[in-house]
Amino acid sequence: MWRFIAGRLLQAIPVILAVITVTFFLVRVAPGGPFDSEKAVIPEVKAALEAQYRLDLPLGQQYFAYLQDLARGELGPSFKYPGRSVNELIAAGLPATAELGAYALLVAVVLGGLAGVVASLKPNSAQDYIPMSVAMIGICMPTFLLGPLLVLLFGIHLEWLPVAGWGDIPGDKILPSLTLGAAYAAYIARLSRAGMLEVMSQDYIRTARAKGLPEWQVVTRHALRGGLIPVVAFLGPAFAGLLAGSFVVETIFQIPGLGRFYVQAAFNRDYTMILGTTVFLSTLIVLFNLLSDILAAWLNPRLRAQYGEA
Amino acid sequence: MHRIVRVVSLALVAAFLGGCSAGESNVAQGNREGILHFGNGSEPQGLDPHVVTGVPESKIIDALFEGLTRKNPWTLEPEPGAAASWEFSEDRRVITFHMQPEGRWSNGDPVTAHDFVWSWRRALDPAMGNLYAYMLYPVENAEAYATGKIDDPALVGVRALDDMTLEVTLNAPTPYFLQLMDHYSSYAVHRETIERFGKATDRFTRWTRVGNIVTNGPFQLQNWQLNRRIVVERNPHYWDNDAVRLNGIVFYPTENIVSEERMFRVHQLHYTNDVPLNKIPAYRKMADTPFVEAPYLGTYFYLLNTERPPLDDVRVRKALSLAVDREALTRNVLYGSNNPAYAITPPGTLGYQPPQLFAFDPEEARRLLAEAGYPGGDGWPGLELIYNTSESHRKIAVALQQMWKDALNITVTLSNQEWKVYLDSVSQMNFQVARRGWIGDYVDPNNFLDLYITDGGNNNTGFSDPVYDELILQRAPRAATQEARFALFHEAETRLMEQMPILPIYTYASKHLVHPSVKGLPPNLMDFVNVKYIHLEDVPLTEFELE
């Protein structure tokens, strides 16, 4: 098991290094620079700014200097917010993003789990088709479409909920959590339906029914535990995906999270901020994937044996 | 394990629902406690007056710091700030400022003339990379020092005669110089604080953070939550503290104007940075409307690249401009909140009226186009218009595209570019027609007209006219009277519009929602807020009913 974990961590290093390298050179190719502004910048000022940010060095040298800083955990100063380091900006944005991710996951598990279980109880009936069709739509509908649609309906047409913000107006956390959670709810619905269907055909369910338990107790006491294992295994990558993928939702709803910094950094050509968030998020994704693999192995002895051999 | 999962889930649900409970609104609480809730557009880049460049930054910095003067929000005339009084020499090249005898930093240190000398040298130091250093260029040797032509800051024309007397020597009499004294690039910063956290010219230090920053304005920094709010509170050491009526201001980075408007309607904000265009008609109809609009010192226009065909022909440039029905555009697309523009300088800038050489005239436009070799649009080589991605820029571009099609039977293709790509295209002159806006830094026609001097950094059109250059750079600064100076500006602007390197479209307007409880926050040409004059009245909160 330890060998498996160590192996996976070693594999992660070249992956993250590749991400850094590609991002580093890609952002430099984009037209426009961090100091371009609407008013002309005189050459002396531009030179002074570039010197303060080491942009006057050859690109290769800048790259290695960046790697050295990174090895010390330093993501560098932000271009857009002078006086702030990227580490600090990430720390400032992470709480809102994590909170949003947690609520979205809650929405996903509750709505998705419920829909999946309900559908699995009467397969190939209306009770199955309706929630599963809704789930299919949920998977297909991108957040940048669902978000504005929900805003249009609940925010502008019905005026029930705020259209944007995070913790400013009561109820403003509901629409973003729903929007972000919807696609994951749909996945979870399909996963839990499949898991439940498999479990419901097992012998121990027949035994439970045979001893005269009411159907709802068969489902909640016996079937649910086994049926939801695929969902549990999915939660790790799902949470990583929610953190990394929340930028669209954060932009739509003006949430002061990491994702919005990320998008703005790209627009501003804030080189260090783009790199810093990319490195941070890709590390997070790698770690969460590893975590869910470990969890799956822990739940499933067959997998564990397989990893032990590897 | 199960218990933990259950507790965590319950806590999450509770937190999620807890966000729904309503409390007392910001406005009700603010009116009682004297706290203004201010929609400020976006998160400031920072609070160092010699580093930042934006409007949201200026609003916060004006509350925290104070220049030598501070504008009256009704008349825009300079009033005493860090300087109690000032006088000009006979030739108007030397200004002597007398500092406030009771001027204090927020830590109690006296504000002296030496603070300003040190700060101006810092603002001009090339190592600072200050984008607004040019605001101090009217000062003798300031430009030479800022561009590295001289190394000795002592040669810059700002000297402390003693603690309380500051002498400023200008290159030439500069009628708008006093106006620059309440632009943040001319503010004094606290030397000891800055040097405690790093080099004077360092951009990355922590000196502007809560607990570190020392300021000399009516307010001091209390709290700064990134992307959420900045809170300033009364500065008890401020020399004119008795005149300050607010106890504090909360600045919100309200980037989304739709949600900003909704925050205003539920009494979370006293003041909005902007108003969504489509809400304007409904607000206008409201009795006792909180909607406030006023002309704003800026012009929206298109750059015409005079170095590329077909725009290298002045007749084509004029044809395009004459074919635009600006009245219809401002009325129908902009909901009547802006005025049509026929020149670069907004009318009424310090009493100056720009020339109007043309009007909407499709007949004449067709004639000019035919003369240029494209009768009825025949043989038109096509034209591309670029703008930075934005819904409102697109609407205007589409309207003009249609007007050109209707009046001249020519096709113009639209191309939106992401902000930095667009900036790059404009500065490289890699375009045929490009959207542009210019907001005045100070109220004087010079601020608009010096854009088009030959090879000016913001010219971006290829326009070059030695007579124009001479009028703006040599003759106008030496004019004996304001009338003579304006006559020279008028002559220059007439030459500019005869050549039409730009296609003026409209002049800007400032638009805000201002809560009825807010007093002393009048609209003005600079959209300038003087926090000293603002106070809040405890009025009953009523619903804003929109049709």
Asked if the C-beta of B196 comes within 8 angstroms of chain A's C-beta atoms, the answer is: no
Residues B198-202 have a mean pLDDT of: 90
Locate A208 and state its tokens: 């439970």
* β-sheet bridge partners, residue B416: B387
With respect to residue A142, please indicate whether it lies within any of the assigned structural domains.
Answer: yes
Name the residue of chain A whose CA is nearest to B197's CA.
A83
Yes or no, beta carbons of A83 and B228 under 8 Å apart: no
- What mean pLDDT is predicted for residues B347-352? 87
Q: Does position B509 have pLDDT exceeding 60, yes or no?
A: yes
Tokens 């999270």 — which residue? A257
Cβ-nearest to B126 among A37, A44, A177: A44
Which residues, 6+ apart, have CB-to-CB distance to A91 below 8 Å? none
- Identify any residues that bridge with B252 across adjacent strands, giving them in sequence order: B39
| DSSP for residue B111 | P
Tell whether A179 is covered by a domain: yes
Each residue of A200-209: pLDDT tens digit? 888 888 888 8
Higher pLDDT, B466 or A125: B466
Nearest to B206 among A31, A83, A268 (CB): A83
Q: State the smallest CA–CA distance between residue A113 and chain B in angstroms.
A: 14
Using the predicted structure, report yes or no on whether residue B31 has a pLDDT greater than 80: yes
Q: How many domains does chain A have?
A: 1
The winner for highest mean pLDDT among A24-33, B9-18, B159-168 is B159-168
Of residues A1, A3, A20, the one with CA closest to residue A286: A20
Residue of A143 and B238 predicted with greater confidence = B238
In a domain, A180, yes or no: yes
Q: What confidence score (pLDDT) does residue B262 get?
A: 82
ipTM for the whole complex: 0.79
Q: Are B146 and A44 in contact (CB under 8 A)?
A: yes
In sequence order, what are the beta bridge partners of B414?
B385
Residue A283 within a domain: no
Radius of gyration, CA atoms only, chain B: 26
Residue A29 forms contact with B (CB below 8 Å): no
pLDDT band for position B1 (cuts 50, 70, 90): very low
User: Whole-angstrom distance between the N-terminal and C-terminal Cα of chain A?
Assistant: 9
* Mean per-residue pLDDT, A60-64: 92
Residue B205, chain A, CB below 8 Å: the answer is yes
- pLDDT category of residue B3 using cuts at 50, 70 and 90: low
Asked if B224 and B89 count as a contact pair (C-beta separation under 8 A), the reply is: no
Greater model confidence, B492 or A118: B492
d(CA A82, CA B203): 6
Per-residue pLDDT band for B247 (boundaries 50, 70, 90) equals very high
Does any CB of chain A come closer than 8 Å to the CB of residue B198?
no
Residue A292 domain-assigned (yes or no): no
Per CB-CB distance under 8 Å, the chain A contacts of B419 are: 32, 267
The answer as to whether A33 is a domain residue is no
The residue that leads in pLDDT, A80 or B403, is B403
Residue B73 near residue B233, CB atoms below 8 Å:
no
B44, two tokens: 């400031």
A163 CB neighbours in chain B (<8 A) are 256, 258-259, 262
Query: To the nearest whole percent, how much of chain B has pLDDT over 90?
Result: 75
B127 close contact with A: CB closer than 8 A: yes
- Residue A148's domain comprises 94-255
Q: Model confidence over A188-197: pLDDT tens digits? A: 998 989 888 8
Question: What is the residue-averaged pLDDT of chain A?
Answer: 85
User: Is the Cβ pair A162, B262 closer than 8 Å?
Assistant: yes
Query: DSSP string of B36-101?
Result: EEEE-SS--S-S-TTT---HHHHHHHHHH---SEEE-TTT--EEESSEEEEEE-TTS-EEEEEE-T
Task: Identify all chain A residues contacting B268, using CB atoms and an 8 Å cutoff.
Answer: 168-169
Residue of B nearest to A89 (CA): B226
Interface residue A48 vs chain B (CB under 8 A)? yes
| pLDDT over 50 (residue B466) | yes
How confident is the model over A270-290, as a mean pLDDT?
88
Q: What is the 3-state secondary structure (H, E, C) of chain A?
A: CHHHHHHHHHHHHHHHHHHHHHHHHHHHHCCCCCCCCCCCCCHHHHHHHHHHCCCCCCHHHHHHHHHHHHHCCCCCECCCCCCCEHHHHHHHHHHHHHHHHHHHHHHHHHHHHHHHHHHHHCCCCHHHHHHHHHHHHHHHCCHHHHHHHHHHHHHHHCCCCCCCCCCCCCCCCHHHHHHHHHHHHHHHHHHHHHHHHHHHCCHHHHHHHHCCCCHHHHHHHHHHHHHCHHHHHHHHHHHHHHHHHCHHHHHHHCCCCHHHHHHHHHHHCCHHHHHHHHHHHHHHHHHHHHHHHHHHHHHCHHHHHHHHHC
CB of B245 within 8 A of CB of B263? no
Say if A81 is an interface residue toward chain B (CB within 8 Å).
Answer: yes
CA distance linking residue A231 with residue B206, whole number of Å:
46
Note the pLDDT of residue A299. 67
Q: What angle separates helix A229-245 from helix A86-121, to the nearest 10 degrees?
A: 140
Instruction: Please write the tens of the pLDDT for every residue from B376-427.
Output: 999 999 999 999 988 889 999 999 999 999 999 999 999 999 888 999 899 8
Rounded to a whole number of angstroms, the distance from the CA of A157 to the nearest CA of chain B is 13
Please report residues of A whose CB lies closer than 8 A to that of B420. 30-33, 36, 267-269
**Interface check A259 vs B, CB under 8 A:** no
Q: Which residue, among A95, A143, A65, has the nearest Cα to A261 in the 3D structure?
A: A95
Lowest mean pLDDT among A29-43, B165-179, B346-360: A29-43
Res B303: pLDDT: 97
Cβ-defined contact of B203 to A256 (cutoff 8 Å): no
| CATH of residue A243 | 1.10.3720.10
Q: Look at B126 and A45 and tell me if their CB atoms are within 8 Å.
A: yes
- What is the b/e burial string over A190-219, where b = at least 16 CB atoms within 10 angstroms of the residue's CB? bbbbbbbbebbeeeebeebeeeeeeeeebb
Whether A102 and B12 lie within 8 Å, measured CB to CB: yes
pLDDT on residue B21: 42
Look-up: residue for tokens 């590749």? A18
**Looking at the DSSP assignment, which residues form a beta bridge with residue B399?**
none
Residue A211, in any domain of the structure: yes
Q: Is the separation of the CB atoms in B304 and B501 below 8 Å?
A: yes
Which candidate, B443, B472, B481, B438, places its Cα nearest to that of B351? B443
A32 touches chain B (CB under 8 A): yes
Question: For position B101, what pLDDT does the model report?
Answer: 96
Measured between CB atoms, does A56 come within 8 Å of chain B? no
A125/chain B closest Cα distance in angstroms: 32
Size of interface A-B (CB pairs under 8 A): 148
Higher pLDDT, B54 or B468: B468
Tell me the nearest-neighbour CA distance from B162 into chain A, angstroms. 32
Residue of A nearest to B456 (CA): A40
Chain B hits for A42, CB-CB cut-off 8 Å, are 133-134, 146-147, 457
Nearest CB to A31 within list B134, B252, B421: B421
| pLDDT reading at B174 higher than 80 | yes
> Of B13, B46, B255, which is closest to A81 when you measure between CB atoms?
B46
In tens, the pLDDT along B9-18 reads: 555 555 554 4
Instruction: List the single residue in B9, B256, B420 with the smallest CB-CB distance to A31.
Output: B420
What pLDDT score was predicted for residue B170? Answer: 95
| Structure confidence at residue B19 (pLDDT) | 45
Judging contacts by C-beta atoms under 8 Å, the chain A residues touching residue B263 are: 165, 168-169
B-chain residues within 8 Å CB-CB of A259?
Answer: none
Q: Searching chain B, which residue's CA lies closest to the CA of residue A79?
A: B45
Flag whether residue A172 sits within 8 Å of chain B, measured between CB atoms: yes
Chain B interface, mutation test: which of A28, A35, A42, most B Cβ atoms within 10 Å? A42
Question: Is B458 an interface residue toward A (CB < 8 Å)?
Answer: yes
A39 → chain B, closest CA residue: B458
pLDDT of residue A243: 81
Supply the pLDDT for residue B73. Answer: 94
How far is CA A235 from each of CA A167, A225, A295, rounded to the nearest angstrom? 26, 15, 10
Rounded to whole angstroms, the Cα distance separating B462 from A179 reads 49
pLDDT exceeds cutoff 80 at B251: yes
Closest CA to B270 of B96, B478, B512, B509: B512
- B291 vs B297: CA distance, rounded Å: 19
Single out the residue of B113, B109, B54, B117 nearest to residue B83, CA to CA. B113
Higher pLDDT among residues A301 and A56, named by residue? A56
Residue A148: inside a domain? yes
How far A19 CA lies from chain B's nearest CA (Å)? 23
Least confident of A75-79, B322-326, B361-365, B380-384: A75-79
A interface mutation test: which of B55, B207, B259 has the most A CBs within 10 A? B259
User: What pLDDT does residue A281 have?
Assistant: 86
Residue B20 confidence (pLDDT): 42
Q: Name the closest residue on chain A to residue B25, using Cα atoms.
A: A169
Q: Would you place residue B357 in the very low, low, confident or very high pLDDT band (cuts 50, 70, 90)? A: very high
Each as own residue / partner, the long-range contacts of residues B15-20 (CB below 8 Å, 24 or more positions apart, any chain) are B15/A99, B16/A103, B16/A106, B16/A173, B16/A174, B16/A177, B19/A167, B19/A170, B19/A171, B19/A172, B19/A173, B19/A174, B20/A170, B20/A171, B20/A174
Q: Which residues of B touch A75 (CB under 8 A)?
A: none
Is residue A117 very low, low, confident or very high in pLDDT (cuts 50, 70, 90)?
A: confident
pLDDT at B18: 46
